[in-house]
Amino acid sequence: MTVATSNVDCPLCGTPTSHTVLNGRPDYEYGVKRALTYRQCSNGGCGLIFVKPLPTLAEVSTFYQKYSTHTTNDSVPRIPLLSSAGESSGRRALAALFGGARLGTLSVLDYGCGGGAFMSKLTSLGVGQVTGYDFDPEACQNARTRGLNVLSSEDEVSRSGPYDFIFLNHVIEHLIDPIGDIQRISAYLKVGGKLVLRTPNTQSTLCRLFGANWRGWETPRHLHLFSMKSLIGLVEAADTAGLRAAYVSTSNAMFLGMYHESFHTRCWRAGRLGKLVRHALSYPVFLLSTVNKWFTRYSGEELCLVVEKVATK
């Protein structure tokens, strides 16, 4: 629930006022008890949603004692920008994203690799050098059981680079200092390399429809949530005179998962009638979202931003 505006600086644009948009939302996914307060920047040109006060890094690590990346069943993200492509088109989708470069010559970093599902996909499609990194030791170990090259520290990440592409697949929303992190991570890119960001969209149809129940909140693990304006603003704030947004869009590739996981009560999740109604409603809601995306370009569930490194610092 929104309350009165007060003087809390936006960490992205510095606007000195913001308002509370969410307070005390439970962790519906993994049951972490820590409740956080989410505020939204009052600047209409920014609109970043951020946690205030932020938890410490040590506290954040406790939010991941149970997580999807600790199993080998974590889902494989579809190829950004071409998320509607079928599995048989995976190689062509990658080639298009990578500008026609020979996949075997590319070096790719999956930053925040989780259990390694996306790394496995890149490897199976013929990408030459696929490297992963994650701050969660259990997720890293799980990825290594797949035979993947997952590094233990950012010093190793830096020494293994520079990279042609770096993917942050639903990572930026988990970070305590996204501006500083983008500055640091982009330094691992080659000149001409690209940073690919994917993150939930706070201007999506389902966010507007479900409010505090929206799956994209994932409290308390998501610390910063973005619209297209604030995601582009993040790159501008992190720019070291060498970054430019090369592609921006939104996608509904994750629509069904986001939709079904925005229902939290037992009636909707386990009740026979509730499940039937939930599934039946998914069709008109998806149609509504599709129509809304025709008229409101940046209303898809997932933001996709590709940033090119055009110069060194």
- What is the rounded average pLDDT of the residues 249-260? 92
Question: What confidence score (pLDDT) does residue 73 get?
Answer: 59
Q: Which residue has the tokens 């996608």?
A: 251
At residue 41, does pLDDT exceed 80? yes
Please tell me the predicted confidence (pLDDT) of residue 44. Answer: 93
The mean pLDDT of 244-253, rounded to a whole number, is 88
Label the pairing between strands 189-200 and 163-169.
parallel
Residue 140 pLDDT exceeds 70: yes
Over residues 238-260, mean pLDDT: 88
166: CB partners within 8 A, 6+ apart: 108, 109, 111, 185, 186, 188, 189, 193, 194, 195, 196
What one-character-per-residue DSSP string does 5-58 give? -B----TTT--S-EEEEEES---TTT------EEEEES-TTT--EEESSPPPHH
Average pLDDT of span 142-166: 93
Q: What pLDDT is stored for residue 79 in this prediction?
A: 45
pTM for this entry: 0.89
Token duo for residue 181: 């992190």
Boundaries of every domain in the chain = 82-309
* Sign of the Cα pseudo-torsion (268, 270, 274, 275, in order): positive
Residue 94 to residue 80: CA distance in whole angstroms: 9
Residues 65-75 have pLDDT tens digits of 888 777 765 55
- Can you give the pLDDT at residue 62? 93
With cut-offs at 50, 70 and 90, classify the pLDDT of residue 94: low
Predicted confidence at residue 23, as pLDDT, reads: 95
Q: Architecture of 82-309 per CATH?
A: 3-Layer(aba) Sandwich (3.40)
Secondary structure of residue 177 in the 3-state scheme: coil
Check residue 273 and give left, alpha or beta (phi > 0: left; psi -120 to 50: alpha): alpha
CA distance 1 to 275: 27
In this prediction, residues 161-171 reach a mean pLDDT of 94
Q: How high does pLDDT run on average in the chain?
A: 88
* Mean pLDDT for the stretch of residues 294-302: 90
Helix (H) or strand (E) holding 142: helix 137-144
Specify the pLDDT at position 103: 83
pLDDT of residue 98: 74
